[in-house]
Amino acid sequence: MDFKIIQILQVQLISILENNMSKKEYQKIWKTIKPALDEIDIITGPFYELSRGNEKEEFRISNLKKQFKRGIMMAESSKYLPLKNKPTWEGYDFNEFAILYCFEQILSEITATRIQNGLSGASEEAIKEEAKTQTYLGVYPEITDMAIESYNKSVNEGSMGPIQSAILKLLGDKSLDFDAPAVKAVKGFFKKLF
Return the H-helix or E-strand segment holding 22: none
Quick check: 71 and 103 in contact, CB under 8 A? no
**pLDDT greater at residue 78 or residue 191:** 78
The answer on pLDDT for 187 being more than 70 is no
The answer on pLDDT for 170 being more than 60 is yes
Distance CA 103, CA 96 (A): 11
The answer on pLDDT for 123 being more than 60 is yes
Least confident of 36-40, 65-69, 109-113, 157-161: 109-113
Work out the average pLDDT over 98-107.
Answer: 96
The chain-wide mean pLDDT, for the chain, equals: 85
Q: Is the pTM of this model over 0.85?
A: no
What is the model's pLDDT at position 192? Answer: 41
DSSP string spanning 35-80? HHHHHHHHHHHHHHHHTTT-HHHHHHHHHHHHHHHHHHHHHHHGGG
